[in-house]
Amino acid sequence: MENNKKDPNSPAHKDEKVISPAQNPIEKPLQAKKANATSQQSADNKNNNQTNSPVNNSRRKAKPSSWWIRIGVLFSLLVAIVAVASCYWLYLQLSQQSQGQTQLEQSITEQVTQNKSLKYELQQTVMVSNKRFGTLEQQQLNDTKAYAKLAELQQSNKQLQERVAVIAQRSPNHWMASEAEYLVRMAGRKLWLENDPQTAIGLLQSADERISAMKDPALTLLRKALAEDIIKVNALKTTDITNTIFDLDNIINDVEGLPLNRVDENFTENKNTQAVTDSIDDWQQNLATTWHELTDGFITIRKRTTDLEPLLSPEQQWYLVENIRNKLLQAQLALYRFDQVNYQQSIALADKWLQQYFDLTDPKTKAIIASLDKLAKVKVEKVTLNKFQASPLLQQLVTYGEIMPTQEPAQ
């Protein structure tokens, strides 16, 4: 029992105290197992080896302790390496995650920008679509109106065809009545629009010939109305506007070449003086003749009975010719308007300027003044006939195929 007690000052205790390191918590179970095995072995060998020294026991105990320390250090080193590798792997994962997050943010930003552009394009597309819808609606409305108008035209065409079919079933004299009605309308246009009674009379006579060719005794009233219209048109006294306009055009073209009225400076000199002779006996007569010739050369007096007008400059002459042309154009306009007063005033003023500023001895000037005097006597008379008596009768004949009887006044 005394041998088994450990001496605190023994070298085994010292070695054990120096060599044994601090135990790792992981190594505690292993050391516990080893301690149990060692205790059992020491118990078995206790009786046999009671004489062993304490130094050998300490060495035996020190060897397994250093082996487990090495294993623990190696294990700690492996754990540290694994921890470092895990940290590095975690760093890489975090870095990749950060990069992925950055890329995701960029993609989100790009997607937002793209969404804004798509939204703007969508708005533009909606606006264009609304405009097109409005245009299509307006076009559809116009098409509806056009279809309605087309339906009306088709209905009118159908009615016209029915009317033509009804007219075609009538007697052939109906076409002659329509032609006569057209000739009477043309006569009215010639008379009231163009002031041409001669052509109007010819058209009325042609209409009377068409009615006469129908050989219908019931049309006597119509032929009587046509005869009265012809007599009224023939009795009209109208002005030949066309020929008068042409005469004024000729005068307008000839005014520019007329000569102006100039002062006649070629006065005839009466020389009744006698010639100077060579005879000495005639010295008194020769002296008187020489004296008269000398005194008459200083002062010359001539007499003029007409008015003396100042000479016109070229600019004033051009204005004079243009004013005369303007008055003649006003006379033409008065003819178209059947204005007798303005017509005569314009002709009279142009005639006055011609006689005042142009040479009256020139044959061309005399001819123009004579033409103006003749045109001044033209009387502008307007047509007083307003309508033809045969027009309503012809309309009845074309519409109903016969002349409707007039109602007699009640007695």
The per-residue pLDDT for 88 is: 92
Per-residue pLDDT at 307: 54
pLDDT (mean) for 368-384: 83
Per DSSP, the three-state class of 260 is strand
When pLDDT is cut at 50, 70 and 90, the band that residue 292 belongs to is confident
Helical (H) or strand (E) element with 167: helix 54-168
Higher-scoring residue by pLDDT: 143, 282: 143
Q: Are 355 and 320 in contact (CB under 8 A)?
A: no
Q: What is the pLDDT of residue 349?
A: 92
* Cβ proximity of 347 and 241 under 8 Å: no
CB 312 within 8 A of CB 260: yes
Average pLDDT over residues 118-146: 88
What is the number of alpha carbons within 13 Å of residue 281 lying toward its C-beta?
0
Q: Which of 12-26, 226-240, 258-272 has the lowest mean pLDDT?
A: 12-26
Residue-wise pLDDT tens digits, 58-107: 455 445 568 888 898 889 999 999 999 999 999 999 988 888 888 888 88
- Given pLDDT bands bounded at 50, 70 and 90, which one contains residue 13? very low
- Mean pLDDT computed over 180-185: 91
Q: Is the pLDDT of residue 274 over 70?
A: no
Q: What is the pLDDT of residue 309?
A: 54
Q: Considering only CA atoms, which of 365, 378, 356, 248 is closest in space to residue 310? A: 356
Residue 187 vs residue 31, higher pLDDT: 187
* HEC letters along 77-92: HHHHHHHHHHHHHHHH
Least confident of 174-183, 189-198, 246-255, 267-276: 267-276
pLDDT of 198: 82
Least confident of 107-121, 186-200, 336-350: 186-200
Longest dimension (CA), the chain: 229
pLDDT band at 301 (very low <50, low <70, confident <90, very high): low
Take residue 70 and report the two structure tokens written for it: 């090495």
Checking if the pLDDT of 245 tops 70, the result is yes
Chain-wide mean pLDDT for the chain? Answer: 76
Q: Which tokens hold the place of 41?
A: 């072995």
User: Using 50, 70 and 90 to split pLDDT, how confident is the model at 38?
Assistant: low
Top mean pLDDT of 201-210, 253-262, 298-307 is at: 201-210
Kindly state the average pLDDT of the residues 356-384: 85
Q: Measured in whole angstroms, how far is the alpha carbon of residue 214 from the centre of its chain?
A: 58
Domain positions in the chain? 12-118, 173-238, 239-262+309-382
**How far is residue 172's CA from residue 19's CA, in Å, rounded to a whole number?**
155
Task: Report yes or no on whether pTM surpasses 0.75.
Answer: no
CA 233/CA 222 separation, integer angstroms: 17
pLDDT number for residue 291: 78
Please compute the mean of the pLDDT values over residues 273-282 and round it to a whole number. Answer: 69
Strands (E), 203-347: none
Phi, psi torsion values for 226, nearest 5 degrees: -65, -40
Q: How much of the chain, in percent, has pLDDT values that exceed 70?
A: 71
Counted residue by residue, the chain has a size of: 411
The Cα-based distances of 354 to 151, 340, 377 in angstroms read 68, 22, 18
Residue 350's pLDDT band (cuts 50, 70, 90): very high
